[in-house]
């Protein structure tokens, strides 16, 4: 995590004045209906530039400047808040966080011994007012002093009950947002209504919350983050809400039936040291890409009410809390073109060509568009300003067009009428279009994939050699490799006796690969390396897999009712290829599985050392595991009866932690999960190495 990204440089008073107006206009649009000419990162950079200019030219500060104001000073409301709803100051890295904490401790005159660390939700702050346990009013943050009444949205917000568990009068504060599923549903409804979509979940939530009359209803989600008693309430509960630690307040909120982040992977925690704060920050940041709702940072605050009271407030923010901002995962850029590519299974996939934009620490020029139906649903056009989303290692995707930025010069996206690879017809019967030639369209790609290290591991079979064989008519799929003769290979250009013999030896070795690798080499849509291992261990033989119907396929962990029929259909399509592999003598059983005879078979599955365990591997491997790739370690786990997983959760049984294990180790420790070294793990599964 890095410190603050650069700010917008303002050269003179004119540039400063224009920047202030742009910031105010953008903020007003952002808080009104979620639309803006700037994405969050661009707005933050602009405001930091304004702040820098004002520090150097204090005599030129404009009264409408957004600095030092809640919501940039652009929003007003007519419902007064009982207690101001303020913004948060920002920090952008560990060093700035440490500086802020040191300044806070100097202010309160003692060390902070309890820090609360929570996700910063990317939504709209609202106040939910309850009277004797019944929800009576919803108010937006507005300018922090007064907000807008949005009580018409009551009944459409998940996590915000109409009645609390107790008949109490209280004000709950929290964030209204849309989950990924709610956003997709909202876009579909808007598309059906007027042919447009929302730009992103936040704008969808903002527009939905404020719109009083709309022919369709969109669902929202609420997460509570605080509770306030009435100012004149002297009850025991009111006194508790004023004096309890923040963590205890949130426990009470959850007990009332209000949704909090407590049940999510980024639940708020209370820790004692700044080192633990930073560790939790990193854990939440790492989990960001897996969440069904958006976060743009982490809130760090004093947990104790006494510390909060001493620290007090500035004009726009509490001094006892700060937002640790994360790198932007969403930006606005231009959709310049759409490229159409045919994959190894014949699926035709569009790819967006973008005006380069920095996103989540890297420059993005391409993004996925999924399929033709997805383009139509989102109403995309060439030349559109589009929101592009990326989190963690996830491939960037185009979220939606920013409709209010259209100029009229945008053009429809040309949809191919024939396969862009071979020119043959396209099968459009399913949502994912496919060349009618299927895998034969990109034979070199599917054969190269099958021969890869994690599949059949055929050493020495380069793409140019595969192309030679295809051009010579010696092969049409990877099963044909096992029927090649020495004379045929020697007849290829630049193919000598030694190279030929080495390649034939590699073919023979490939025949002995376990079923899991053979199945993976088939490239069945909807499966990959991990899923292939699970399928192989579940069925033990290729014949058992081929005999299985969709219901039987669903018994494999991770395969649901939508994917199972696809797997069955794929296997039917691949039947001639599988028959050729069987006839060539390729292994069709999984070693180590109960009921399968093999030199490597050591025990029935229920007796395997990792039987029923979910195992996560993190950090650099050492000892006997040092030379293994991560995929080979995962294969080792599953040979020993376990299930390899990439993320730590309450379902994790064991964490194998090497050097630089990072946040996964911290999370495992917090959950009480057993942690062992690579050497200890190697000893435990030595029979399978």
What are the pLDDT digits (tens) for 207-225? Answer: 888 887 778 889 999 999 9
The whole-number average pLDDT for the span 652-658 is 92
What pLDDT is attached to residue 596?
Answer: 47
- Cβ atoms of 559 and 553 closer than 8 Å: yes
- Cβ atoms of 304 and 114 closer than 8 Å: yes
- Cβ atoms of 167 and 229 closer than 8 Å: no
**605-688 and 515-583 share a CATH fold:** no
What pLDDT is attached to residue 1?
Answer: 42
- Cβ atoms of 334 and 386 closer than 8 Å: yes
What pLDDT is attached to residue 689?
Answer: 80
- For the domain spanning 515-583, the CATH number is 1.10.150.20
Q: pLDDT tier at 414 (50, 70, 90 boundaries)? A: very high
β-pairing verdict for 362-368 and 385-389: unpaired
- pLDDT, one tens digit per residue, over 17-26 is 888 888 887 7
- Predicted TM-score of the model (pTM): 0.60
What pLDDT is attached to residue 666?
Answer: 77
**% the chain with pLDDT above 70:** 93
The whole-number average pLDDT for the span 70-82 is 68
Q: pLDDT tier at 54 (50, 70, 90 boundaries)? A: confident
**What is d(CA 257, CA 653) in angstroms, rounded to the nearest whole number?**
31
Tell me which of 50-54, 63-67, 278-282, 322-326 is least confident. Answer: 63-67
Q: What's domain 13-73's architecture?
A: Orthogonal Bundle (1.10)
Tell me which of 220-224, 339-343, 529-533, 638-642 is least confident. Answer: 638-642
- Cβ atoms of 140 and 150 closer than 8 Å: yes
Query: Is residue 187 pLDDT above 80, yes or no?
Result: yes
CATH number for 330-416 (one of 2.40.50.140, 3.50.50.60, 3.30.230.70, 3.90.76.10): it is 2.40.50.140
What are φ and ψ of residue 382, in 5° steps?
-65, 135
β-pairing verdict for 397-401 and 426-427: unpaired
Tell me which of 157-166, 262-271, 279-288, 473-482 is least confident. Answer: 279-288
Q: Report CA torsion sign: 398, 288, 290, 30.
A: negative
The whole-number average pLDDT for the span 290-295 is 88
CB-side neighbour CA atoms (13 Å) of 686: 5
- 157 compared with 28, residue with greater pLDDT: 157
CATH 3.40.50.10190 describes domain 605-688: yes
Q: What's domain 79-325's architecture?
A: 2-Layer Sandwich (3.30)
Q: Which residues contact 688 (CB under 8 A, 6 or more apart)?
A: 592, 602, 636, 639, 640
- 401 compared with 290, residue with greater pLDDT: 401
β-pairing verdict for 170-177 and 124-131: antiparallel
- pLDDT, one tens digit per residue, over 295-323 is 989 999 999 999 999 999 987 889 999 99
Closest CA to 174 of 76, 295, 258, 269: 258
- pLDDT, one tens digit per residue, over 523-556 is 998 888 889 988 998 999 999 999 999 999 999 9
* Residue-wise DSSP of 491-515: TSTT--HHHHHHHHHHHHHHHTS-H
What pLDDT is attached to residue 562?
Answer: 84
Number of helical H runs and strand E runs in the chain? 23, 23
Residue count (the chain): 689
Active site residue: 120, 301, 331, 664, which one?
A: 120
664 belongs to the catalytic site: no
H or E stretch covering 376: helix 372-378
Give the domain ranges of the chain: 13-73, 79-325, 330-416, 438-511, 515-583, 605-688
- pLDDT, one tens digit per residue, over 452-510 is 988 999 998 999 999 999 999 999 999 999 999 999 999 999 899 999 999 999 999 99
Report the chain's mean pLDDT, rounded to a whole number: 87
What pLDDT is attached to residue 77?
Answer: 65
Q: What are the E-state strand segments in 178-219?
A: none
- pLDDT, one tens digit per residue, over 554-607 is 999 888 888 899 899 999 999 999 999 999 999 999 886 655 444 344 444 557
Assigned CATH topology for domain 438-511? DNA polymerase; domain 1 (1.10.150)
């Amino acid at each position: 995590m890095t410190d603050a990204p650069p700010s917008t440089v303002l050269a003179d008073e004119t540039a400063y004045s224009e920047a202030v107006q742009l910031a105010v206009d953008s903020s007003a649009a952002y808080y009104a209906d979620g639309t803006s000419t700037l994405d969050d990162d661009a707005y933050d950079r602009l405001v930091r530039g304004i702040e820098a200019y004002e520090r150097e030219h204090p005599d030129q500060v404009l009264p409408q400047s957004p600095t030092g104001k809640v919501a940039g000073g652009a929003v007003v409301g007519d419902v007064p808040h009982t207690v101001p709803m303020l913004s948060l100051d920002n920090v952008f890295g560990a060093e700035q966080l440490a500086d802020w904490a040191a300044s806070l401790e100097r202010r309160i005159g003692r060390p902070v011994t309890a820090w609360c660390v929570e996700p910063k939700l990317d939504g709209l702050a609202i106040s939910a007012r309850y009277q004797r346990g019944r929800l009576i009013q919803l108010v937006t943050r507005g300018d922090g002093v007064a907000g807008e009444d949005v009580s018409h949205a009551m009944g459409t917000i998940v996590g915000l009950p109409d009645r609390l568990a107790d008949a109490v009068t209280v004000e709950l504060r929290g964030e209204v947002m849309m989950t990924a599923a709610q956003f997709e549903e909202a876009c579909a409804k808007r598309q059906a209504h007027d042919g447009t979509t929302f730009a992103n979940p936040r704008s969808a939530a903002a527009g939905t919350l404020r719109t009083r009359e709309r022919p369709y209803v969109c669902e929202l989600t609420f997460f509570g983050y605080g509770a306030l008693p009435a100012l004149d309430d002297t009850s025991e509960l009111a006194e508790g809400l004023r004096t309890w630690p923040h963590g205890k307040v949130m426990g009470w909120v959850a007990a009332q039936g209000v949704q909090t982040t407590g049940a999510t992977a980024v639940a708020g925690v209370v820790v004692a040291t700044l080192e633990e704060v930073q560790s939790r920050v990193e854990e939440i940041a790492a989990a960001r890409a897996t969440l069904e709702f958006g976060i743009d940072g982490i809130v760090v605050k004093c947990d104790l009410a006494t510390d909060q009271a001493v620290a007090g407030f500035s004009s726009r923010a509490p001094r006892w809390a700060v937002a640790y901002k994360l790198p932007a995962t969403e930006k606005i850029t231009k959709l310049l073109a759409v490229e159409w590519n045919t994959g190894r299974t014949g699926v035709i996939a569009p790819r967006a060509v973008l005006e380069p934009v920095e996103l989540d620490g890297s420059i993005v020029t391409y993004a996925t568009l999924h399929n033709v139906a997805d383009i139509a649903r989102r109403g995309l056009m060439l030349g559109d300003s589009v929101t592009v989303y990326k989190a963690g290692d996830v491939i960037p995707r185009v979220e939606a067009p920013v409709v209010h930025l259209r100029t009229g010069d945008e053009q429809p996206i040309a949809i191919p009428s024939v396969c862009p690879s071979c020119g043959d017809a396209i099968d459009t019967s399913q949502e994912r279009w496919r060349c009618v030639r299927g895998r034969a369209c990109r034979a070199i790609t599917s054969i190269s994939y099958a021969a890869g290290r994690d599949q059949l591991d055929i050493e020495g079979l380069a793409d140019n050699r595969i192309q030679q064989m295809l051009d010579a008519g010696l092969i049409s799929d990877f099963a044909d490799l096992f029927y090649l003769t020495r004379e045929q290979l020697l007849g290829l250009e630049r193919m000598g006796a030694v190279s030929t013999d080495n390649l034939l030896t590699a073919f023979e070795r490939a025949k002995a690969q376990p079923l899991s690798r053979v199945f993976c080499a088939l490239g069945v849509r909807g499966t990959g390396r991990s899923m292939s291992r699970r399928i192989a261990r579940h069925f033990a033989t290729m014949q058992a897999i081929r005999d299985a119907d969709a219901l039987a396929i669903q018994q494999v962990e991770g395969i649901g009712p939508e994917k199972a029929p696809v797997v069955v259909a794929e296997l039917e399509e691949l039947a001639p290829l599988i028959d050729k592999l069987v006839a060539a003598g390729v292994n069709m059983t999984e070693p180590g599985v109960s009921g399968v005879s093999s030199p490597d078979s050591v025990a029935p599955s229920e007796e395997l050392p990792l039987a029923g365990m979910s195992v996560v591997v993190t950090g650099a491997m050492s000892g006997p595991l040092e030379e293994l790739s991560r995929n080979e370690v995962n294969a080792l786990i599953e040979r020993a009866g376990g299930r390899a997983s990439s993320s730590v959760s309450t379902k994790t049984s064991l964490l194998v932690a090497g050097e630089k294990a990072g946040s996964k180790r911290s999370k495992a420790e917090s959950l009480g999960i057993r942690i062992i070294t690579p050497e200890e793990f190697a000893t435990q599964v030595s029979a399978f190495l």
